[in-house]
Amino acid sequence: MTLRAKSVVCLKVKSGGYLYICVPGMKKDCHDNLPKELLLSWTPEQLAYLSSFAYDILDADYLYGWRDKILGISPFGGFDGMMFSIVPVFIVIVFVFVFGTIIVRSIQGAKQWKSNNESPVLTVDATVVTKRADVQHYHHNTGTDNMHHMSSSTTYYATFEVTSGDRLEFQIRDTEYGMLVEHDIGKLTFQGTRYLGFERSKR
């Protein structure tokens, strides 16, 4: 492709002003057969600088493509170019982090499930020391009206103290949570970290 010289004009524009650029061109290339009407006002050398719209598009793509490869810059330039480079990388990092977190938690859950299955089922004397509820709130917009909604989920825990003085905390069902009372004494049954039940002693 032949590179043609372009004239450069330096203009001063006041802040907030507009600069309009009008570039003459051809609807289609006719350099091989210049109309005599054009030759009345233009010389063939001057007309050589005019090209068709399609040629200018290809020429710009060619030049910008090589400029980007050589300089390693975005055709958008400046802050826009930096954003077009950073945003995809940021999205990939977030995706990898979320996906990696899910995988790690799944592996940990599978290991704990396997460990619990391999652990013996134990029943020991224990006292209910305390219990707690962990509430998670979620905010989201739903529906075509874009209304704000809030949902929540609750996880229940109970802590038991065995005769050795050690304390064990287990995740329990909501029905168990309502039945347990602090300072209750009874038989705790568990398997690893898996809570199986608590039978209150009759007084």
Q: How confident is the model over 146-158, as pLDDT tens digits?
A: 677 778 889 999 9
- Output the CA–CA distances (angstroms, integers) from residue 31 to 38, 51, 55, 196, in the order listed: 11, 9, 12, 90
- Output the CA–CA distances (angstroms, integers) from residue 30 to 22, 100, 139, in the order listed: 21, 60, 64
Task: Kindly indicate the confidence band of residue 185, based on its pLDDT and cuts at 50, 70 and 90.
Answer: very high
| Burial annotation 127-146 (CB, 10 A radius, 16+ → b, else e) | bbeebeeeeeeeeeeeeeee
Would you state the pLDDT for residue 84?
62
Q: Which residue has the higher pLDDT, 159 or 92?
A: 159
- For 15, other C-beta atoms within 10 Å of its C-beta total 4
Strand, coil or helix: what is 11? coil
Would you state the pLDDT for residue 101?
92
pLDDT tens for 53-87 read 555 544 545 444 544 544 445 554 555 556 666 77
State the residue for tokens 């990898």: 96
pLDDT tens for 83-93 read 666 778 888 89
- Residue 198 · residue 160 · CB < 8 Å: yes
Lowest mean pLDDT among 50-59, 132-141, 157-166: 50-59
Would you state the pLDDT for residue 11?
66
pLDDT tens for 162-178 read 999 999 999 999 999 98
Q: To the nearest whole percent, how much of the chain has pLDDT over 90? A: 32
Q: Which residue has the higher pLDDT, 5 or 160?
A: 160
Task: Kindly indicate the confidence band of residue 189, based on its pLDDT and cuts at 50, 70 and 90.
Answer: very high
Cα 150 to Cα 117: distance, rounded to the nearest angstrom: 37
Would you state the pLDDT for residue 24?
66
pLDDT tens for 16-37 read 777 766 666 666 777 678 778 8
Q: Which residue has the higher pLDDT, 7 or 85?
A: 85
Q: Which residue has the higher pLDDT, 145 or 93?
A: 93
Helices (H) and strands (E) in the chain, counts: 5, 5
